[in-house]
Amino acid sequence: MMQRCAVGIVLALSLGLVGCAGSSQYMVKADAPTAGPPPDKALVYVMRPSGMGFAINFQIWDRDQFIGLSQAKSYFAHLCAPGKHLFIGIAENKVAVEADLAPGKSYYILTGPRIGGWRARLAMDAVTQGSENWDQVDTLKKELEVIVPVADQVQAWDAAKKAEAAALVEFFEKNPEREKYMTRLTPADGR
């Protein structure tokens, strides 16, 4: 009886944690964007629909520029120049999305936790035309919390981790093994 009660408590606590949103000093809640990108920019949404592993936030870089933390049950938007980008995600593992972005378009990257050896691993998937998540991003934008980076905190993180990011850019641009850790966005994947 006592063992069943303990199992029930653990299960109830576990289920409660699955629905939690993440938090950090680097990202704060904000209002949802009301407009798409201007005609000369591209907008990349980094969305993390899962509440699992809510205490773990994933670093997201645009090449060697830190752009924010992917937190549970939330998303952030990154306004950038159109053209070639390399979005790198850092957790126990390192993954990337190679992107070619068209001006005036919005693109989507979904992140999520995976079981790792010592801490959570990161899955980072480009939402492309015909992919299983293509029709779900508008719903996700309504369900998830909107967050934005805190400028001075993000700048401090960027300065402290710049060398690690530069080494990853080198890996994802030149290492023949990179393909198994990457997905891609093409101009046609924008909306």
Give start and end residues of each alpha helix (H) in 78-150.
137-143
Res 7: pLDDT? 36
pLDDT at 117 over 90: no
Res 191: pLDDT? 95
Closest CA to 177 of 87, 85, 64, 93: 93
CB 43 within 8 Å of CB 79: yes
| Spans of all domains in the chain | 21-189
The mean pLDDT value for 2-29 works out to 51
pLDDT category, 23, cuts 50, 70, 90? low
Lowest mean pLDDT among 6-10, 57-61, 161-165: 6-10
pLDDT at 48 over 90: yes
Give residue for tokens 């680097």.
Answer: 26
CB 181 within 8 Å of CB 96: yes
Strand order in the sheet with 145-149: 27-29, 145-149, 74-80, 42-48, 106-114, 121-126
Bridge pairing between strands 106-114 and 121-126: antiparallel
Q: State pLDDT tens for residues 50-101.
A: 888 667 899 999 999 999 999 999 999 999 999 999 999 999 899 999 999 9
Q: Of all residues in the chain, what percent carry a pLDDT higher than 90?
A: 73
